[in-house]
Amino acid sequence: LSEALVASLKVAPEEFSVMYQPQYDLRSGAMVGMEALMRWRHPELGAVSPGEFVPLAEQRGLIHELTEQLVRCITRDLTRHDFGTHGNMRLAINISARQIADDRLEVLLEPFFTRLQLAGWCPELEITETHLMNLSPRCLDKLRDFGKRGVMVAIDDFGTGYSSLAYLHALPVHVLKIDRQFVQRLGPDSRDSRIVSAILGIADALELEVVAEGIETEAQKAKLQELNCHRGQGFLMARPTPLESLVRQATSG
Ligand code: G
Ligand code: G
Ligand code: MN
Ligand code: NA
């Protein structure tokens, strides 16, 4: 698999594509953003999940090349499907924390983000919690620079890592994404709502926005609305889809 990935990244970029999973304002129900999720379809191996190929790309030192494909796919999708200007629609991409130290990342993302902003989008960078805690001061400065130019920084899988509250306060982040394991334990009368409630309390104190991921049932969504969670994402509302179908959804209201 590893060899196939190396080869595909070098000579078969057309095997990569991106799906977009919408995020909704849980109060108004409006689509307010989307997360870009990479897909890889190999001619013999078929669809390989990013849960497999992202770690492989990291191990093989090819995560930058994967992000290049991500940027290329999104740029192409946005060129093909005019989304119009929807004012501050978020477009979240996932990056690996170790990429932040790599100077090629800014070179790749700067023009991409400028382009997104000119088209009326607000770029967002998702970084998993565990890795964010280990970033060097220089890397944190880089994130701060992204923030200064209008890029939102989100902590992905929040609640699964080991954030110290003191440190969280000092991080240049704007958004917490509650890991789906907490969301999936939410029910009409579940005790686990206390964890989500506590996360929302922390976010409120630190003036961070919250996105709940992995919403699969009406009961989970209702609970999150009751707890005043801001944004939500999950199979209940929409699965990751090609940009084209979201354009139709956004323009048809
Ligand atoms: O789409 P899916 O749920 O299968 O994604 C599995 C994992 O792969 C998620 O943790 C997601 O963040 C990660 N992932 C998806 N696309 C990308 C990408 O373009 N870059 C990185 N670094 N991770 C990605
Ligand atoms: O780690 P990250 O949050 O980036 O992972 C995003 C992944 O979560 C995507 O692969 C996406 O397919 C998956 N996902 C999105 N919504 C749901 C959901 O409601 N349930 C489950 N099980 N997975 C989801
Ligand atoms: Mn993510
Ligand atoms: Na996540």
Three-state SS string over 203-253 comes to HHHCCCEEEECCCCCHHHHHHHHHCCCCEECCCCCCCCECHHHHHHHHHCC
> What gap in Å lies between CA 224 and CA 187, rounded to an integer?
10
Instruction: Identify the pLDDT of residue 230.
Output: 96
Instruction: Identify the pLDDT of residue 54.
Output: 96
Ligand 2 atom 21 nearest Cα: 214
Token pair for residue 234?
């999950």
Instruction: Look up the pTM and report it.
Output: 0.95
- Are 167 and 133 spatial neighbours (Cβ–Cβ below 8 Å)? yes
> What gap in Å lies between CA 250 and CA 38, rounded to an integer?
22
**Which ligand number lies closest to the CA of residue 58?**
1
Ligand 2 atom 17 nearest Cα: 214
Read off the DSSP letter of residue 103: T
Domain ranges of the chain: 2-248
Q: What angle, rounded to 10 degrees, do the helices at 63-80 and 104-118 form? A: 10
- Run of H or E including 152: strand 152-158
Instruction: Identify the pLDDT of residue 131.
Output: 80
pLDDT digits (tens, 9 = 90+) for 5-58: 999 999 999 999 999 999 999 999 999 999 999 999 999 999 999 999 999 999
Instruction: Identify the pLDDT of residue 145.
Output: 96
Ligand 3 (ion): residues with CB under 5 Å are 94, 126, 156
pLDDT digits (tens, 9 = 90+) for 76-110: 999 988 776 666 899 999 999 989 999 999 999 99
pLDDT digits (tens, 9 = 90+) for 143-202: 999 999 999 999 999 988 877 777 888 899 999 999 999 999 997 677 779 989 999 999
- Report ipTM for this prediction: 0.95
Which ligand 2 atom minimizes the distance to the CA of 236?
19
> What gap in Å lies between CA 157 and CA 245, rounded to an integer?
27
Q: Is there an atom of ligand 2 within 6 Å of 131 CB?
A: no
Q: Is there an atom of ligand 1 within 6 Å of 114 CB?
A: no
> What gap in Å lies between CA 139 and CA 103, rounded to an integer?
10
Q: How far is the CA of 179 from the centre of ligand 2 (A)?
A: 9
State yes or no: pLDDT of 204 exceeds 80: yes
89-94 and 121-128 as β-strands: parallel, antiparallel, unpaired? parallel
Q: How far is the CA of 58 from the centre of ligand 1 (A)?
A: 12
31-42 and 89-94 as β-strands: parallel, antiparallel, unpaired? parallel
- Are 152 and 90 spatial neighbours (Cβ–Cβ below 8 Å)? yes
Average the pLDDT over 202-217 and give the result. Answer: 96
pLDDT digits (tens, 9 = 90+) for 109-139: 999 999 999 988 999 999 998 788 888 999 9
Instruction: Identify the pLDDT of residue 44.
Output: 95
CATH of domain 2-248: 3.20.20.450
Per the DSSP assignment, residues forming a β-bridge with 211 are 177, 231
- Mutational pocket test of ligand 2: of 19, 21, 177, 241, the residue with most ligand atoms within 8 Å of the beta carbon: 21
Instruction: Identify the pLDDT of residue 85.
Output: 64
> What gap in Å lies between CA 71 and CA 36, rounded to an integer?
10
Per-residue pLDDT band at 248 (split at 50, 70, 90): confident
Assign 37 to helix, strand or coil.
strand
> What gap in Å lies between CA 153 and CA 150, rounded to an integer?
10
Instruction: Identify the pLDDT of residue 86.
Output: 64
> What gap in Å lies between CA 48 and CA 68, rounded to an integer?
18
Q: Is there an atom of ligand 1 within 6 Å of 70 CB?
A: yes
